[in-house]
């Protein structure tokens, strides 16, 4: 997918690596055919003829990556958060998702979700739809039109859900999934399917086995949930007594690994030693969702441990377990909960830093999409321009200080422009 | 102070008590001379001639109360939060506060603070200034002009601070304080002085003793910090080896009690049994500051315990330990951290609920200002009109559901109108 060719000018801020954030005041960022050529302190002669988009004084950062979000739950974000996971699913999430059988409802509801994501600081996302094929295709159509780059999953769930939402058989679920894959094959430039078994309690062994086969046949990535909440982990142990850990229950069916496009597992709050070792061995990507894990009283994932192990880790909004789509907010939440974990649970795991949280929300999650998440040469040209002028005060701040304040204080309305793979979405 | 006489129409939402939030759709709220006459489902005949301010479809809640905020720290909110309390004070707060010796700097910096507080959902606040009398009076002038109702403290600090900020002697600090009280006596309608020893580590016994005398002579309320952070609590024990607990170090000097206008103690994260009993005995008001306690890795205060003991409890933004002035955000933070405390630290203390957090941010904190924080007859007429239309979706929500979503999702820009003791500030 070729994007445009242009030069951005502004105060550039991006991750070099997990420990280091670069800040280049009045820098030049060159995009050729949707790919960054790199950051320059003065514009090289060879780019002199390119159009310049001048964002002088504004903060320009890579587009943010949301590794875990439920599109149909956007309608009721901020509600019902006095419940824990399994009750919240039964009382809030499942009844709402059942409404997406109605295509008109789905189209109207998804329009709000897509428009807020388009206007916010995220450029890419891995998205759960519902089990309904028409509504999932509607969502994919809308996301494609938005200019965002996403992976979208029709959800599979053939047990332990209300009848209105549960798929009536494994075979039916697999048939619907194959039809969805056929119908959307080659249809989009920016939108890819991702296999999406809801979580082990929602999927029979027969369904998981069939999804493993589909995965191999279509070479598809996978997304699901892992070790989020105590009641859930115990339930999985009952449902799959043969599994050595929750992750093993996916792995058994070929749904837990980095090959074939990769696997995202959301949460990993309660993963034990074996599961961590398996995630590392299989290069599973962890989607850390701090606000959701707080709201549903699940706990705090040991993210520092995952980073030290060298696991792939990014951030997820997990709307509507989380309330906010912005991955800036997820960065702040990740830092804040890591401090409480350090203070209350385990002083051996130091709190996360601003450079680490910024890295997770850009390069960390971006890796799932390829060369995405920074301004270095060869990376896809995602950028967000933040107008932080309302945070200005009587004294000056450095670019990295402005980034820190942006993470804690900026809102969707402060996004002045957005580019995804070289395409300007607005601003 | 007599406010105006009018009728508000809208979707009214307010606390009945700690456990109960009332929601009255299309309700009528009558204000006579700045005091509520009560909430009516139909406008009684006797009020038929009053001017009606029509906010149909909008959410009308009591003005929110911030029991703990540092005005001079507003300039650097969202910055330096990788530090714990004592290092953060040395590296961030103290150097910034020293700048307020410059009256021009203070005037410019306070204008931003006052304007954001005026535009946001808080109607009242207890505010720390700095040790500087001219800058403190400038802040009081600005707050008075804003229409907000506040208590403002010139800070006392004569030890353990950089020379540029430390007062050179107890006698000098007391002289300045007396001069400040004299100069502002009778000057304001909405702005009251409150004695503000920074915290025990910043104040010699001589200073605290003199402040106790000033307090009795002037019948003044007091605000300070208590048992926030482990390093601080240990330091107080070293500085006051004669004290039986941190709170006892204030109490010894007559600075810990509900008489003479009351006492606010911010944080109380680490208060032990004796301190809790003393707070109860003396009717000390706890200002719970969840975001600050998270940012500075202090921990999570046992607020449920304080509520069960019948202590007076309200919420504080604690900018710039906290990043956000809005007490809506403090309500969300209070609920969220209470869930983590329950999960990680003490399962005997259930998480806080939405009605409890709403109560703390309105009636709980409002009690420090008198009859403030709800719409019942005889309460002062503080109200905030929230435009939550951008949260609307394909289905309807009840008023209390809309309140819950407002707590998690609304921002300063969503405040459509504000009234403080019957005076309309805007909208």
B241: distance to nearest CA of chain A, Å?
Answer: 26
Are B266 and B224 in contact by the 8 Å Cβ rule? The answer is yes
Say whether A299 and B344 touch across the interface (CB within 8 A). Answer: yes
Name the band, by pLDDT with cuts 50, 70 and 90, for residue A1. low
Q: Can you give the pLDDT at residue B219?
A: 97
A208: distance to nearest CA of chain B, Å?
Answer: 32
Q: Can you give the pLDDT at residue B393?
A: 82
Nearest CB to B82 within list A112, A300, A354? A354
ipTM of the complex: 0.97
The token pair that represents B158 in the structure block: 């004569």
Q: Can you give the pLDDT at residue A2?
A: 60
Conformation bin of residue B225: beta by default, left when phi > 0, alpha when psi is -120 to 50: beta
B130 pLDDT more than 90: yes
Say whether A81 and B298 touch across the interface (CB within 8 A). Answer: no
DSSP secondary-structure letter at A254?
Answer: T
pLDDT digits (tens, 9 = 90+) for B193-204: 999 999 999 999
Q: Can you give the pLDDT at residue A395?
A: 80
Neighbouring C-beta atoms of residue B193, cutoff 10 Å:
22
pLDDT digits (tens, 9 = 90+) for A342-375: 999 999 999 999 999 999 999 999 999 999 999 9
Which SS3 state, helix, strand or coil, does residue B401 take? helix
pLDDT digits (tens, 9 = 90+) for A293-322: 999 999 999 999 999 999 999 999 999 999
What residues contact A395, with CB distance under 8 A and at least 6 apart? B75
Residue contacts between A and B (CB atoms, under 8 Å): 114
HSE (side-chain half, CA atoms, 13 Å) at A416: 16
Say whether B341 and A343 touch across the interface (CB within 8 A). Answer: no
Whole-structure pTM over 0.80, yes or no? yes
B80 pLDDT more than 90: no
Residues in chain A with CB shorter than 8 Å from the CB of B351 are 82, 297
What residues contact A134, with CB distance under 8 A and at least 6 apart? A103, A106
The token pair that represents B357 in the structure block: 């957090």
H or E segment at A85?
helix A85-88
- Give percent of chain A with pLDDT exceeding 90: 94
Select the residue from B340, B350, B351 to test the A interface by mutation, using most A Cβ atoms within 10 A. B340
Are A381 and A419 in contact by the 8 Å Cβ rule? The answer is yes
Residues in chain A with CB shorter than 8 Å from the CB of B353 are 82
Say whether B343 and A298 touch across the interface (CB within 8 A). Answer: yes
Say whether B344 and A342 touch across the interface (CB within 8 A). Answer: no
CA closest to A292 among chain B residues: B336
Cis preceding-peptide flag for A138 (omega within 30 of 0):
no
Q: Can you give the pLDDT at residue A107?
A: 97
Say whether B78 and A409 touch across the interface (CB within 8 A). Answer: yes
Q: Can you give the pLDDT at residue A83?
A: 82
What residues contact B281, with CB distance under 8 A and at least 6 apart? none
B172: distance to nearest CA of chain A, Å?
Answer: 29
A97 pLDDT more than 60: yes
A30 pLDDT more than 60: yes
CA closest to A402 among chain B residues: B79
Q: Can you give the pLDDT at residue B1?
A: 52
Q: Can you give the pLDDT at residue A250?
A: 98
Identify the weakest region by mean pLDDT among A152-166, A339-353, B72-86: B72-86
């Amino acid at each position: 997918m070729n994007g445009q060719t242009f030069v951005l000018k502004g105060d550039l801020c991006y991750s070099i690596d997990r420990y280091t954030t670069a800040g280049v005041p009045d820098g030049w960022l060159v995009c050729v055919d949707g790919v960054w050529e790199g950051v320059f302190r003065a514009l090289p002669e060879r780019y002199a003829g390119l159009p310049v988009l001048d964002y002088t004084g504004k903060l320009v950062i890579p587009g943010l990556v949301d590794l875990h979000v439920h599109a149909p739950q956007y309608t009721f974000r901020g509600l019902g958060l006095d419940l824990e996971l399994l009750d919240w699913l039964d009382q809030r999430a499942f009844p709402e998702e059942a409404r997406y059988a109605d295509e008109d409802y789905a189209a109207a509801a998804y329009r709000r979700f897509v428009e807020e994501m388009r206007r916010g600081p995220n450029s890419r996302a891995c998205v759960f739809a519902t089990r309904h094929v028409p509504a999932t295709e509607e969502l994919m159509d809308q996301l494609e039109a938005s200019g965002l780059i996403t992976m979208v999953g029709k959800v599979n769930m053939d047990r332990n859900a209300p009848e209105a939402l549960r798929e009536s058989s494994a075979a039916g679920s697999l048939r619907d999934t194959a039809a969805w894959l056929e119908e959307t094959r080659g249809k989009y430039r920016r939108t890819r399917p991702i296999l999406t078994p809801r979580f082990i309690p929602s999927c029979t062994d027969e369904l998981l086995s069939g999804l493993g086969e589909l995965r191999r046949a279509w070479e598809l990535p996978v997304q699901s949930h892992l070790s989020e909440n105590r009641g859930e982990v115990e339930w999985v142990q009952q449902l799959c007594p043969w599994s050595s850990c929750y992750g093993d229950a996916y792995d058994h069916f070929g749904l837990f690994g980095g090959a074939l496009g990769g696997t995202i597992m959301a949460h990993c709050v309660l993963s034990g030693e074996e599961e961590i070792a398996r995630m590392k061995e299989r290069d599973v990507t962890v989607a850390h969702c701090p606000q959701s894990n707080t709201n549903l009283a699940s706990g705090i994932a040991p993210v520092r441990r995952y980073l030290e192990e060298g696991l792939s880790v990014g951030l997820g909004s997990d709307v509507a377990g989380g309330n906010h789509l912005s991955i800036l907010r997820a960065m702040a939440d990740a830092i804040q909960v890591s401090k409480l974990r350090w203070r209350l649970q385990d002083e051996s795991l130091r709190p996360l830093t601003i450079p680490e949280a910024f890295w997770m929300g850009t390069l960390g999650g971006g890796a799932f999409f390829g060369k995405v998440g920074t301004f270095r040469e060869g990376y896809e040209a995602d950028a967000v321009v933040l107008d932080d002028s309302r945070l200005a005060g009587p004294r000056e701040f450095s670019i990295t200080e402005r980034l820190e304040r942006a993470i804690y204080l900026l809102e969707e309305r402060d996004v002045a422009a957005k580019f995804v793979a070289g395409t300007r979405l607005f601003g």
